[in-house]
Amino acid sequence: MKMSQKDLDKILSNHKKWYVSIGRGGVKANFRGVDLSDADLRGANLQDVDLWCANLAGADLTGADLKHVNISSSNLTSVKLDGPELLGVKWFSKVTIPERFLPWLISNEHFAEWLPGLTIVEE
């Protein structure tokens, strides 16, 4: 089931409180297996969020903070982001990703660990 933007914004607000308070307030977001296709995540603080198996197809992640994010087994087809956001991603395996992000992936210190599980596609 696809999450509404209103629900998504509420969860992200609580996650930001959790992150800023170092876990003392708010609630850590967990989007494991959630359909976030076409979601507006521009500039979102997604640090430490679990996006394992999330459907991010067409989502706008421009300027989102993806440090220490798990996007393993996620669908990033047609995702909107500039590329530098991928530098902080920590877990990244079994992912289908557009080839335009390959230069950014290669720049990530974990690239060698991810390579066997990546599927690179043309858009």
Instruction: Tell me the per-residue pLDDT of 49-81, one tens digit each, with 9 for 90 and over.
Output: 999 999 999 999 988 988 888 888 888 888 887
Q: DSSP string spanning the chain?
A: -BPPHHHHHHHHHHHHHHHHTTTSSS---B-TT-B-TT-B-TT-B-TT-B-TT-B-TT-B-TT-B-TT-B-TT-B-TT-B--SGGGGG--B--SEEEEGGGHHHHHHSTTHHHHGGGEEEE--
pLDDT at position 69 is 87
The CATH number of domain 5-11+27-121, selected from 3.40.720.10, 3.30.565.10, 2.160.20.80, 2.40.50.140: 2.160.20.80
pLDDT at position 6 is 95
Which residues of the chain fall below pLDDT 50?
none
